[in-house]
Amino acid sequence: MEPLSLLPHDAARALAGVIFDLDDTVLDHGALTEAAYGALFRLRETGLTLIACTGRPAGWGEVILRQWPLDAAIAENGAVALVREAATPVAGAGHRGGPPPSAGADRIVALGGLDRDTRRARRAELVELAEAMVRRFPAAALADDNDQRVTDVTIDIGEHRRVPSDDVARMRAELRDRGVRTLLSSVHLHLTRDPSDKATGVVRLLSARFGEDPTRARYRYAFVGDSGNDGVAFAAFAWTFGVSNVRAHLGKLSVPPRFVASHPMGRGFAEIARRIAALRGNGVEP
């Protein structure tokens, strides 16, 4: 991994957007700091498309897409893409100057393949398996964001609980034997039957919604993350960044991020954003 100072000027100027993880990347143990939030606005001011990409639930994705300066959100480790759809103008409504009045605020819609009933049936099975796991491994518990999920189920292993790594490994082995995919973040163990991951979910969205060529998109968009479930994106994208706490997860990453910040979590994200924004401006970091 290289320091941010070695990020080439031309690479930063050629970027079309930045994709970023939430937990322990933009968020500090779940909290959004002023520095991290402000960094999103600085990036957007340089003309970059911003996409959150998280293992958190679809319900979180809808909220941040409404409240943050984002163009889209990927939730549940790539399984759910959320985008805005413009509100429908009110037919026949009179107006002078500007667009016609609309029926309301922009809608947030989820892009996906499976119908709702199929997803519910799959998820009900996953809930039963997750409940069985936490009964057998009492150091763990169901995560408190499960009610907002639509494709996966999460077990708390590091957010409010501290689960021994051996227990996590045994749970993953048993679930794999049952044909369930698991993904590991800094706080949760995810159970899913969806084949998506953060890289495939993002590239699918960029192609379908933003008209990007799937191969070129991997060079036109940067990815920022911190832990194991970001590994596929670190491997897929050419320009990748880690906040400094990524060092604790290097053993779980087949490919580390190309550049690393000197600060952790939200401060590290703000540091990365400052460097990219400076290079896209006059090339001198403030």
Q: How many other β-carbons are positioned within 10 Å of the β-carbon of residue 238?
A: 12
| Residue 206 Cα distances to 170, 202, 210, angstroms | 36, 6, 5
Strands 259-260 and 239-242: parallel
Domain assignment present for 97: no
**Polymer length in residues for the chain:** 286
Query: CB of 39 within 8 A of CB of 27?
Result: no
DSSP tag of 197:
-
Q: Do 122 and 171 share a domain, yes or no?
A: yes
Q: Supply the pLDDT for residue 104.
A: 55
Q: Which residues contact 119 (CB under 8 A, 6 or more apart)?
A: 112, 150, 151
Which stretches of the chain drop beneath a pLDDT of 70?
87-105, 112-114, 282-286
pTM metric for this prediction? 0.86
Query: CB of 87 within 8 A of CB of 103?
Result: yes
Q: Do 47 and 181 share a domain, yes or no?
A: no
CATH number for position 222: 3.40.50.1000
Q: Do 122 and 184 share a domain, yes or no?
A: yes
Q: Do 109 and 226 share a domain, yes or no?
A: yes
How many structural domains compose the chain? 2
- What is the span of the domain harbouring residue 49? 2-87+104-114+196-280
Strands 141-142 and 72-75: unpaired
Q: Do 185 and 123 share a domain, yes or no?
A: yes
Q: Supply the pLDDT for residue 119.
A: 81
| Long-range contacts (CB closer than 8 Å, 24 or more residues apart) made by 233-238 | 233/19, 233/53, 233/197, 233/198, 233/199, 233/202, 235/199, 236/199, 236/203, 237/19, 237/199
CA distance 239 to 106: 32
Q: Do 110 and 120 share a domain, yes or no?
A: no
Q: Do 179 and 211 share a domain, yes or no?
A: no
Q: Supply the pLDDT for residue 286.
A: 46
Domain termination site, one of 157, 192, 227? 192
**For residues 174-198, b (16+ Cβ closer than 10 Å) or e, as one string?**
bbeeeebbbbbbbbbbbbbbbebbb
Q: Supply the pLDDT for residue 107.
A: 82
Domain assignment present for 286: no
CA distance 196 to 59: 18
Domain assignment present for 92: no
Q: Supply the pLDDT for residue 283.
A: 44
Q: Supply the pLDDT for residue 265.
A: 97
